[in-house]
Structure 1
Amino acid sequence: METLTTKQKIFNFPVTKIILALLTFMAFVVIGQQIAVKLLALTPLEKEYRNLLKGVFVSALAITSYILFFKNYEKRAVTEFAVKGLSGNLIAGTIIGFVLQSLTILVMYLNGNYSIVAVNPVSFILIPLAVAFTIAIIEEILVRGIVFRIIEEKLGTYISLCVSAIIFGALHLSNPNSNLFSGLCVTIAGFLLGAAFVYSRNLWLPIALHFAWNFTQSGIYGAITSGNEKTGSLIVSKIQGATLITGGAFGPEGSIQATLFCLIATIILLALSHKENKIIKPYWKK
């Protein structure tokens, strides 16, 4: 009986749970990507449509693997992906992400750092759409659904926000053209995405916000996202000037105004969460 109790404690220990969840999730995603690539290569579809379908397949697999893992591991209903409130959270997250990124670009435009060169056909947004859609789901499940949520259960909302946001920022330091300042900017964005999860208590809001932020930046305004190469976009833009305002080679999300806008949105969401008693205290204060 004692051995069983010890095993249960180890099995339910937060670090154990996080490691097993990450390993299971990444295995599903990586294998799913390989299967999707091989199967879609057999079709006559163009690259853009193959990438879009691959993104949809991998995203669906990511969500399914998360639900199945925690449903069986934690023996509970996985409310993070509840259908109730789905449309409202998706719409709200998309609007917040679009507005924040548009304000960031607006500051650049008013400062003379951003100009429109041309407008492409709508088909040019397919690649950034697929990329932004897939990345948002995978990163939000990893950082908010697994790391943040499990740590929050023991250490409370604020410590978990700090830990998950720092991890989120650190992960982006390996991106091309990143530096300490861009890492700090992404860390603040991590606080915002964590606050979105706290307020909504599901992953749909941060996923939609994350998606809209990246897609608006690269797919609509034609800017670089997180230091990666430019993709096709609706608007062909010219960005030049001070790195502090443009984000330089890392992209607008590495700018001072993007950081300030994200910080303001974070404070608002946390204030609303406080008002609605959604902040979780650490175990020693319960």
Structure 2
Amino acid sequence: MNKKTIGQKILNHSSTKIIIGLIVCGGIVGVGQTLIQQILNATSINKDFKNLIEGLFVAVLTIVSYSYLYKFYEKRKITEFSKKGITKNLTIGIGLGVVLQSLTILVIYLKGGYSVVTINPILFIIPPLSMAFTSAIFEETLFRGIIFRILEEKLGSYIALIISSLIFGMLHLANPNSSLITGIGLAIQAGLLLGAAYIYSRNLWFPIAIHFAWNFTQSAIFGASVSGNAISKTLITSKIEGAKWFTGGQFGPEGSIQATIFCLIAAIILLTLSYKEGKIIKPYWKNK
């Protein structure tokens, strides 16, 4: 066995592909974001619009860096961002995200814990809009496009789903007002559901749409905190109060029990459909 063969095996190992992907995509986006911030800071553009432009730039840079890296690295066509079926995936994904978040808020409302304080100008949706699509595209590309997809190739759909979900939940433990309970909740709400969405659609547009709609509806429309972070401007200024189990407390509705239950049900439905349609990938040792 020569050194070239050893080097090729190391380069094509799953862990290597994940690490390189995270470093390259994260690094390019980080540098690009810094540069666009410096350029925008030199202008007199409104702060909210600066953040919107920055978010669009980061989103495009994320998709481009991922696509070119893995097209070259894995020598294949990047179907994860295919235009085929994009309208269907975005429409259904946004609809599902809105419904799941609305059901979560509905429980709070029915328990007497949600009330509208003020309805603000329409331009107040710009900050949460910027946050929602930027985080959806960046996080889904890294977590579902890189971590989950590459793990799934070797370990199969179910094991990759568990590992990537736990990683997603653990990383959110660092968020403001987070706890072990909220971390587990996010592992199910986002990790499990969005991973199941990728398995079912076999592209990133579907989980991106769900992720975007969930965050945007939660913040811009219902005026709630997102993963412990309060948004400065929202279309509706709301007051959420009551027991932590159904309001999520200061972490926001994602910390509630109903959010986890609704997302778990949706994930189970998607996984069941994926199984029936033969979209579940087996671990490599079961294919021998």
TM-score, normalized by length of structure 2?
A: 0.98
Residue 215 of structure 2 corresponds to which residue in structure 1? Answer: 214
Q: Partner letter of residue 60 of structure 1?
A: V
1:136-285 equivalences in 2 (<5 Å):
136-189=136-189, 190-285=191-286
Q: Is the 8 A contact 1:136 1:210 kept in 2?
A: yes
Provide the residue aligned with 2:50 in structure 1.
50
Query: Alignment partner of 2:233: what SS?
Result: coil
One-letter amino acid matched to 1:138: F
Letter in 2 for 1:7: G
Q: CA deviation at 1:264?
A: 0.2
Answering whether residue 103 of structure 2 is matched by residue 115 of structure 1, we say no
**How big is each residue's C-alpha offset from its partner over 1:64-107, in whole Å with a ceiling of 9 and x where there is no partner?**
00000000000000100001111111111100100000000000
Identify the residue that residue 127 of structure 1 maps to in structure 2: 127
Post-superposition offset of 1:229: 2.4
8 Å CA contact retained: 1:97, 1:208 = yes
4+ long deviations beyond 4 Å: none
Aligned equivalents of 1:282, 1:7: Cα separation in 2 = 24
Q: Is the 8 A contact 2:192 2:267 kept in 1?
A: yes
Equivalent position SS for 1:217? helix
1:2 deviation in Å?
2.2
| Residue 67 of structure 2 corresponds to residue 67 of structure 1 | yes
Aligned residues: 286
Mapped partners of 1:195, 1:266: distance in 2:
6
Letter in 1 for 2:220: G
Q: Following the alignment from structure 2 to structure 1, what is the Cα–Cα distance between the partners of residues 168 and 232?
A: 23
Q: What is the SS of the residue equivalent to 1:158?
A: helix
Q: Structure 2 unaligned runs (5+)? A: none
**Partner-residue secondary structure (3-state), 2:181:** helix
The AA in structure 2 aligned to 1:187 is A
Residues 198-239 of structure 1, C-alpha deviation per residue, up to 9 Å, x if partnerless? 000000000110011011001110000000123311111110
Q: Note if contact 2:224-2:230 (Cα within 8 Å) is conserved in structure 1.
A: no
Q: Distance in 1 between matches of 2:62 and 2:213?
A: 19
Unaligned runs of 5+ in 1: none
Q: Does 2:85 correspond to 1:85?
A: yes
Aligned to 2:115, what secondary structure does the other structure show? strand
- Tell me how far apart the structure 1 counterparts of residues 96 and 43 of structure 2 sit (CA, whole Å): 37
**Matched residue type, 2:121:** P
Query: Counterpart of 1:45 in 2: which secondary structure?
Result: coil
2:237 is paired with a residue of what secondary structure?
Answer: strand
Residue 37 of structure 1 is matched in structure 2 by 37
8 Å contact from structure 1 (residues 105, 252) kept in 2: yes
| TM-score in terms of structure 1 length | 0.99
In structure 2, distance between residues paired with 1:276 and 1:82: 20
Measure the CA separation in 1 of the matches of 2:48 and 2:79: 33
1:7 positional shift: 1.1
Give the C-alpha shift of residue 44 in structure 1.
1.8
Letter matched to residue 135 of structure 1? S
3-state SS of 2:92 partner: helix
Distance 1:181 1:200 in 2: 29
- Aligned mates of 1:230, 1:115 — CA distance in 2: 17
Give the CA deviation at 1:16: 0.7
- Asked whether the 8 Å contact 2:118–2:238 carries over to 1, the reply is yes
Percent identity at matched positions? Answer: 59
Equivalent-residue separation in structure 2 for 1:231 and 1:13 (angstroms): 43
The residue type equivalent to 1:91 in the other structure is: T
Superposed CA offset, 1:142-186 (max 9, x none): 111000000000000000000000000001000000001100110
1:96 aligns with 96
**What letter matches 1:261 in structure 2?**
F
Q: For 2:29 and 2:209, how far apart are their aligned partners in 1?
A: 19
**How far has the Cα of 1:41 moved from its partner?**
1.3
Q: What secondary structure sits across from 2:232 in the alignment? A: coil
**RMSD, aligned CA:** 0.8
AA of the residue aligned to 2:181: F
Q: Verify the 8 A CA contact 1:219 1:231 in the aligned structure 2.
A: no
